Homo-oligomer: A and B are copies of this chain.
Amino acid sequence: MPELRKDPITGRWVIISTGRENRPSSYGKYTIESKGGFCPFCEGNEKHTPSELLAYRNGSERDAPGWTLRVVPNKYPALSIEGELVREGEGMFDKMNGIGAHEVVVETPDHALTLATMPPENIKNLLWAYRERVLDLKKDKRFRYILLFKNQGEPAGATLEHSHSQIIALPIVPLLANEELTGARSYFNYKERCVFCDIIMQEKEESSRLIDENNDFLAVSPFAPRFPFEAWILPKKHRAFFEDAESQEYESLSKILKRLLLKMNRGLVVPPYNMIVHSSPFYENTQDFYHWHMEIIPKLTKVAGFEWGTGFYINPTSPEEAAKFLREVQIP
């Protein structure tokens, strides 16, 4: 049983998840299944994953071929879905058992496609599947936060090549989400405006950090990015929760996301990246001041002692340069 533990100094929680050591790749070099090797996510290999939680199918049977997207429990989950949440002390330390959900979204049956190359309808399906899973997991009152994310490529932490995302539901609100909430709340208390809405306004006006725009979304290089070519996709409509967006917004998002990934693929030569949805925690009154968004972080640099030691990042590329570069990349 994994454990959640809190560092008594910073308040930082971690998962002690010892069961994960028998993952296919635990330390150091990740053994990526190369093209042609066996892939549990390919069509026809459905029996090699845990049974599906959700699938988009054309009338075919559960856990059989004939689908465009599948969601299955992670075979090597970081958290355990079974059990009651138990909080306890250990001398001066605090801990909690590692209750949570850890799911995998297989984004396409086709091993050769990626988010950048699949049709926008598939991306819209993926966003819709995120939404469906969040709405379902939200019913479980043990969970306070859900993270939707994707590791693309081995340097970004992907252990399987076949295009997939992950969903993790947590019984606590993680540090970074709390930092965002705290910052956005105090901005709202001071200005009575949403900090994200203000960013959208300024970025549209200034346009130097604007990468792309459509009816519902802005793609920008943030003012203070941790990483070169880090990009945020911000919804124009103020909403705290990703899962509350409307169908047409997911369609707009799928289009701007595909364009951004194509630009990165062409301009930065198929970089590995992490994609993360930041949405509000549950059971907090965040409607006024929090604003969901998406972050895409290409993995172009290594994080070293300075960053680990300070939480302070050295970024060799300004967001204005990055945005200009990506704006000018021509895509079909």
Contacts and interface: CB of A to CB of B under 8 A. Distances in A.
A129 B91 CA distance: 38
A198 interface: yes
Taking residues whose C-beta sits less than 8 angstroms from the other chain, chain A's interface range is 35 or more
Interface in A281-331: 295, 297, 300-306, 308-319, 321
Given A183-B11, A317-B21, A157 B304 contact: yes
Contact of A304 (B18, B151, B179): B151
A209 B9 CA distance: 17
Nearest to A91: B202
B149 A314 contact: no
Contact of A156 (B5, B301, B305): B305
A209 to B, nearest CB: 10
B318 A305 contact: no
A305 B149 contact: yes
A244 interface: no
A304 B151 CA distance: 7
A216 to B, nearest CB: 21
Contact of A228 (B11, B27, B155, B306): B27
A9 B149 CA distance: 20
A78 interface: yes
A17 B314 contact: yes
B14 A225 contact: yes
Given A9-B180, A147-B306, A303-B303, A313 B14 contact: yes
Interface of A: 3, 5-18, 20-21, 23, 26-28, 30, 78, 90-93, 147, 149-151, 155-158, 166, 168, 170, 174-177, 179-180, 183-184, 187, 195-196, 198-199, 202, 206, 222-226, 228, 274-276, 278, 295, 297, 300-306, 308-319, 321
